[in-house]
Amino acid sequence: MTGAPSPAGVIVCPLSARVALQRYSRAMATIQIRDVPEEAYEVIRQRARAAGQSIQSYMREQVIEMARQRTKQEVLAEIEAALAEERPRNVTAESLAAHVAAERR
């Protein structure tokens, strides 16, 4: 395996190159987006250029930043979970009514 074309015309990669490619592929995820409107692409291209970055680098940073930010649903779920932990246990309507009545006296 020398990297030269095989009899079938297919280039054979050395084992070390294949192993390195497999490790890289497992370590990094890939996102491919199709059917991006031309106007949106141009805005992204201009922003990447203004930042001195390739489109790939610019979009990578945008995706990482987007993933860092919590969604409204995630924030609400955290609040609901925190409130559920703080709710007193064994509270009944009767005990609440008695407590309110006692506070009013």
Query: pLDDT digits over 1-18, tens only?
Result: 455 556 666 666 677 777
Q: What is the pTM of this model?
A: 0.54
Compute the average pLDDT of residues 44-73.
96
- Do 58 and 48 form a contact (C-beta atoms < 8 A)? yes
Compute the average pLDDT of residues 20-35.
81
In sequence order, which ranges of the chain are alpha helices (DSSP H)? Answer: 15-27, 38-50, 55-68, 72-86, 93-104
Of residues 60 and 22, which shows the higher confidence score?
A: 60
- Whether the CA torsion 75, 76, 81, 85 is positive or negative: it is positive
Torsion angle (degrees, nearest 10) of CA 63, 67, 71, 73:
120
- Do 90 and 99 form a contact (C-beta atoms < 8 A)? no
